[in-house]
Structure 1
Amino acid sequence: MAAIPNPNSTGKTGKAPAVVATIRTMVVCVPDELPRESLATRQLDQHFRVSGSLYARFWAKPTIHIWERKHLFDLRKAEKNQPAYCAGGPARLLNLAGMHVAAGMGAGMRHQTWQQAVHGTRPATPWADFEARNLENPAKFPLDDMAAAFYSQPRVNAMRMHNAAYTGVPLALEELEIFQAGPTAYQHYSACTAVVGDALLRLDGTQLAP
Structure 2
Amino acid sequence: MTTMIVCLPDGLSSDALTAHQLHRHFGVDGTLQARFWTIENLRLWQRRQMFELRKGTPAYCAGGPAKLLNLAGLRYAAGVGAGIRHQQWQQAVQGTKPAQPWVTFHSRHLNDPSKYTFDQAAADFWRQPRVSAMRMHNAANTVAPLAVDELEMLQAGPAAYQHYSALTAVCGDALLTAEGQQIAPETDALADRVTFLAQANRYLEHIEDDQRLVAVTL
TM range (shorter): 0.7 to 0.9
Listed as ranges, the gaps of 5+ residues in structure 1 are 1-22
Q: Deviations over 1:130-167 (max 9, x none)?
A: 11211222233222111111111000001111112112
Task: Give the Cα–Cα distance (whole angstroms) in 2 for the partners of residues 170 and 42 of structure 1.
Answer: 34
Quote the offset at 1:106 in angstroms.
0.2
Query: Identity rate of aligned residues, in percent?
Result: 60
Are 1:66 and 2:44 matched, yes or no? yes
CA RMSD of aligned residues (A): 1.5
Q: Is 2:168 the partner of 1:193?
A: yes
| Cα displacement (A) at 1:192 | 0.5
Larger Rg: 1
Indicate the residue corresponding to 2:12 in structure 1: 34
Kept in 1, the 8 Å contact 2:35–2:62? The answer is: yes
Inter-CA distance 113–49: structure 2 relative to 1 (3 Å threshold): same
Equivalent residues, number = 185
Deviates more, 1:135-144 or 1:105-114: 135-144
Match of 2:64, SS? coil
CA contact 2:19–2:29 (8 Å) conserved in 1: no
Match of 1:149 among 124, 128, 141: 124
Q: CA–CA distance in 2 between the matches of 1:59 and 1:177?
A: 28
Shift of residue 115, structure 1, vs aligned partner: 0.6
**Are residues 1:106 and 2:106 paired?**
no
Alignment pair present for 1:176 and 2:176: no
Gaps of 5+ in 2: 186-218
Query: Matches of 1:117 and 1:204 in 2, distance apart?
Result: 44
- CA distance, structure 1, for counterparts of residue 169 and residue 74 of structure 2: 7
Query: SS of 2:8's equivalent?
Result: coil
Matched, 1:24 2:2: yes
Q: Distance in 2 between matches of 1:53 and 1:132?
A: 30
Partner of 1:39, secondary structure, is coil
Q: Give the TM-score normalised by the residue count of structure 1.
A: 0.83
